[in-house]
Amino acid sequence: MAGNIFLEVVTPEKIVVSEDAQIVAAPGSLGEFGVLIGHTPFLTTLKAGIMRFTDAGGQEQYVFVSGGFAEALPDKVTVLAESGERKADIDLERAQAAQERAEKRLAEDRSRKDIDFIRAEAALQRAVVRIRLAQM
């Protein structure tokens, strides 16, 4: 089926993407999914990962998303992400510093009550994905 689907990626701070796309692929909690125009409606949760889409001009674009929800409709995909940024907007040095901080926290004694290890693991995962995307 020919045609474009409207893609909107929104975080609490900003609109990351608001444009037509030929195809959208995103990191769902149960695995990556893809959406074309005319897709059956569904709602899913997202995990931290790289979202890809082909813009109306045929160029592949990349966006980091961290958690949230995606809603697919026959003519639109809406992503409400905890955080997100286009590949070009990723600060590689900041992501590497975040990775180092998270690794340092995770290396601490697990019996310490003042460190939230689950939060540190999530921070590490986000940093690793950002670094991977920035280096693509």
Q: Could you tell me the residue ranges of all domains in the chain?
A: 5-88, 90-134
Contacts of residue 20, defined as CB under 8 A and 6 or more positions apart, other chains included, come to 4, 5, 6, 7, 55, 56
pLDDT of 79 > 70? The answer is yes
Tokens representing 86 are 């286009």
Radius of gyration (C-alpha) of the chain in whole angstroms:
16
Q: How far from 117 is each of 25, 83, 105, CA to CA, in Å?
A: 30, 20, 7
What pLDDT shows up at residue 114? 64
What whole-number percentage of the chain has pLDDT above 90?
A: 69
CATH of domain 5-88: 2.60.15.10
Structurally, at CATH architecture level, domain 90-134 sits in: Up-down Bundle (1.20)
pTM of the model: 0.83
